[in-house]
Every structure is written in C-alpha cells, then in structure tokens.
C-alpha cells in the first residue's frame, strides 16, 4: 500500500516515517520534494505517486510571520488541503491531516471539545481552520487531528529553545498564564498509525472518519514546562547556567508577539479515546522520552 507523507522534514513527519513503515510503502516528501504553496507542483506530485493513503503533516507554522505572509500561509494551510482532498477523492484514498488548537480563541475555562465554536485570533489559526473546511468539503474520507504544543527530538521546539537559552543565561522569563499539554511527535505518529491500521483492516465502514482532538494527558503552563525540561536536563548531567529555580514566571502581556497565543490550549480528547479505545499518556512521559533522545 502506497502511503504519502507530506511535511516529512518536520517534527511529526519525521516520526511518521517510523510509525507508518509497517503499514506499507511510505513516500516521504519534505518542502524540497514538494512545496505545498505551489499548487501545480502539488497536483503533479499527487498524479505521479497516486497514493492509497495521504498523511499531511506539512503546515505553515511560523505563527508570527504568518501575520505578514498571509498569502503563503493560506496556500499551504488551506488551498493545499483542497487540492489534496480533491485528488484523494479521485484516488479513493483517505486523508489524515493535523490541525491546531489555534482555531479557538483560548478563552474557555475548560478543555475545548470538537463541538465548541471556533474563533481563531490570527492568520495561522484562520488558515488552519480554512484547511480543515477545505478538506472536509473535498472528501468525506478524512481524519482531522487537532493537537497542540508539539515536541519532538527532531526539529526545533520549545524544549530545545529552553535548553539552549538555559546554557547561555543565568535566568529565564517564561510566560505562566498560557496552559496546554505538551504532546510528543512520536505519540501523534503512533496514534496516526493506529487510526490508519484500523482503516486498513476494516475499510471505510469502520474507519470512524471525522474531527478529533488529540493531545497528551494533563496540562501545564509554559513556565512550568520550562522548569520540567531544565530539571530533567540537570538530572541527566547537562551543565546549565539557569536551572529550574531560575525560571521566572511572567504574564503574556510582558512578552508581546505579533500573533496572539491562546491562553487556554487544552483540548478534550474524550471523543478520540472512546472511538479508538486508546489511553493517552501524561505529557511528562512524552517530554521525558524526547529529552532522553536530545540529551
């Protein structure tokens, strides 16, 4: 079975190549192999490969840059999903696609369910939401997995940034009034493989296509997340100038950015766990695994 993975150079894409290998012949495309902002190139690639499963891990994720580069963000996060969905419908291939908590405004005081109203506050969130809708309109045979705070051993992420800064500085100021669940790329890849294997075994009738929220269990703030990362690093013998006690909490207002971040990035994963009969491990397990690889 031919499986196409876009965004293979990213955190989730890298892990997907490992997780999906037992399911079929995986064709990995990074940005150099196929630029999703180029519609003609994307169509030609899909026509040439004729995949039987498409997993889209590619995205324009530069949240702040998107505020001044809406055209590219729209091309990658939205228009490409229409093209992928249209090709998938013709090929009879299901599509698994990753989306984000940024489709919400972050104002709720509880985890967001799939049925909660969407209200993206910036270009990144708006284009990702548009991509969800483009895919759904193009083909019913899709899964959209919304997630948040992705961390992996491959590629750039918050944990790597904290390790670098803690090696350079005596103290770190980190936002403490935004909460979410750090979710490992490896977990997302393994869950994706489970979803796709279920389709392979049962076909469309048992595929449970649709929209799901998928994150690790529990939640934390960016500040406490940073403290956890540095504590793990120190325990592993990494020499740092700033330790967990040197991470100082600040408010979002003290760290202005071009794009607004959700204060609440928690996602209710009950629909996913009940549908697929899976347990989502605590975020600390995934982050610890990633840190062991990095360190």
Catalytic residue numbers, as ranges: 124
The CA-atom distances, in angstroms, between 262 and each of 177, 193, 221 are: 10, 29, 12
C-alpha 7/C-alpha 33 separation (Å) is: 9
94 touches 199 (CB < 8 A): yes
C-alpha span between 64 and 95 (Å, rounded): 28
In the block, tokens 């993206």 appear at: 120
For residue 27, list its beta bridge partners: 4
- The C-alpha R_g of the chain, in whole angstroms, comes to 19
Distance CA 90, CA 131 (A): 19
| Residue 215 per-residue DSSP state | -
d(CA 97, CA 38): 18
Burial 150-189 (b: 16+ CB within 10 A, else e): bbbbbbebbbbebbebbeeeeebebbbebbbbbbbbbbbb
Q: How many helices (H) and strands (E) does the chain have?
A: 10, 12
Q: What contacts 128, CB < 8 A, 6 or more positions away?
A: 59, 77, 78, 99, 100, 102, 103, 120
CB 70 within 8 A of CB 123: yes
């Amino acid at each position: 079975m031919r499986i196409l993975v876009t965004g293979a150079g990213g955190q989730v894409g890298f892990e997907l190549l490992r997780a999906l290998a037992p399911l079929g012949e995986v064709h990995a495309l990074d940005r150099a192999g196929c630029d999703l902002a180029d519609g003609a190139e994307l169509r030609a690639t899909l026509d040439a490969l004729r995949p039987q499963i498409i997993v889209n891990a590619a995205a324009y994720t530069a949240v702040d840059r998107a505020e001044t580069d809406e055209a590219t963000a729209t091309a990658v996060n939205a228009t490409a999903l229409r093209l992928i969905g249209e090709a998938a419908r013709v090929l009879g291939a299901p599509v698994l696609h990753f989306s984000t908590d940024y489709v919400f405004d972050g104002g709720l005081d509880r985890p967001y369910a799939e049925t909660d109203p969407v209200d993206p506050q910036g270009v990144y969130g708006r284009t990702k939401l548009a991509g969800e809708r483009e895919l759904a309109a193009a083909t019913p045979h899709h899964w959209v997995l919304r997630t948040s705070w992705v961390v992996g051993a491959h590629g750039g992420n918050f944990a790597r940034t904290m390790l670098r800064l803690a090696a350079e500085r005596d103290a770190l100021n980190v936002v403490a009034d935004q909460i979410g669940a750090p979710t490992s790329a490896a977990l997302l890849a393994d869950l994706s493989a489970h979803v796709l294997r279920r389709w392979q075994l049962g076909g469309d009738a048992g595929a449970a296509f649709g929209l799901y929220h998928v994150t690790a269990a529990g939640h934390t703030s960016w500040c406490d997340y940073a403290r956890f990362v540095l504590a793990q690093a120190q325990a592993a013998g990494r020499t740092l100038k700033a330790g967990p006690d040197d991470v100082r909490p600040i408010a979002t207002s003290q760290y202005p950015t071009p794009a607004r971040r959700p204060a609440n990035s928690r996602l209710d994963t009950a629909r996913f766990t009940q549908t697929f009969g899976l347990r989502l491990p605590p975020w600390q397990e995934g982050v610890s695994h990633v840190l062991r690889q990095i360190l």
